[in-house]
Structure 1
Amino acid sequence: MTEQPVYLTLGFSDEEWGLLTGLPLAVLTAASAAEPDGTRRTLAEGAAGLEAVAAGRDGGSPLVAAVAQEVVSRAGDPETGEELPPINPGDPEAYLGDVLDRAGAAAALLRAKVDEGEAGAYGHWVVSIAEQVVSAAPSGGMLGIGGHLVTEPERRFRDALAKAFHD
């Protein structure tokens, strides 16, 4: 007998699981794209984001652990030295809006399908990914000195993302 995919045992359809597993990397990309950066900063953001994604495997939420495991199996495991190549959306503002829309859809899905604790754990994890990305390296300054750890556009994205999961 063939074992069912984990998302079916958790009660999600293919499309719903795609939304939940696609959002973490989309958030990583959007948080990085919220502020135009140089290559060094973008690589640091990607590494920090992938570590935050992978950390979800070790949390107390079965849903977050399953999503994180799926994402890491697709994107690479930072514990083995794998890194995401930088992704630069052509229209960052449109991409941020799309990611926030998907976050709202994921939040609504989770409110309908899982208990409050699991929904909260997923939302907290996704927001923590954005937080790790925007805090990975300062913007501005000279030779990495000075500048802002989290810029206003990054802060707005992170806060809008958190709001999507708390409405």
Structure 2
Amino acid sequence: MLAPEVPMSHSVAGEPPSAGRRAAPLTTAVYSVAEWELLTGLPGRVLVAAARHSSGRPPRGVAAGLAGLEAVAAGRASDSDLVRAVVADIYARPDGPTAPADRLADLVDLLAACRAAVRVLRRRADPADSAAYRQWAQSVAGRVCRVGTTGAPAPAGGPVAPADRRFLDRLGGALDLG
């Protein structure tokens, strides 16, 4: 049985559309409940997985989590209607992004969820929105990975630890960014 469809008739900012501001375009207007949950839950899962991914090093601290949250929030300024709608939905939730705790940092499960999101985006999203969403999700992990265990961020575009580079490469592959 298919999940019920969730129309995105609200504006991408979560408010009624005003003059000059339109709701999400038809190409991104309808996702099943499961598809929408996947798309809105994935950024939080990416953030947590990147923060916990340490390959023998201590987990990253609060600074990494804050960097990830800033990267999620940066989606508010995206040119993509889909990314803005996802961010609006994330911030409209009373508890913020949620996912089962035991699945948040499981890399295999995360990569499978990324591949599932790519399939949903191929079927439902405008190609530009699909690319923007996938790049935004990768940028969340990138921002987290650039914060070391000391809490000091590496410069944007700067080097990351080899284990983090492998994590980002695997994530990018699952997001079909390669």
Q: What value does the CA root-mean-square deviation take over the aligned residues?
A: 3.0
Relative to the length of structure 2, the TM-score reads 0.70
Q: Does the CA-based 8 Å contact 1:7-1:13 persist in structure 2?
A: no
Aligned to 1:124: 135
Aligned residues: 145
4+ residue stretches of structure 1 with deviation over 6 A?
none
Q: Equivalent residue of 1:12, what SS?
A: strand
Q: Does the CA-based 8 Å contact 1:53-1:72 persist in structure 2?
A: no
* 1: CA distance, partners of 2:44 / 2:145: 14
* 2: CA distance, partners of 1:43 / 1:7: 36
Relative to the length of structure 1, the TM-score reads 0.74
Aligned to 2:17: none
Unaligned runs of 5+ in 2: 1-5, 11-25, 153-158
Q: CA offset at residue 112 of structure 1? A: 1.1
Q: Equivalent residue of 1:150, what SS?
A: coil
Q: CA offset at residue 26 of structure 1? A: 0.1
Aligned to 1:50: 69
Q: CA offset at residue 157 of structure 1? A: 1.5
Q: Does the CA-based 8 Å contact 1:104-1:165 persist in structure 2?
A: yes
Unaligned runs of 5+ in 1: 77-83
Q: Equivalent residue of 1:22, what SS?
A: helix
Per-residue deviation, residues 25-75 of structure 1 (Å, max 9, x unmatched): 00000011111435xx42111100001001101110000000011112335
Aligned to 1:97: 108
Q: Which residue of 63, 76, 90 maps to 2:82?
A: 63
Q: Give the fraction of aligned pairs with identical amino acids, expressed as a percent.
A: 38
* 2: CA distance, partners of 1:91 / 1:15: 17
Residue 164, structure 1, aligned to residue 174, structure 2: yes
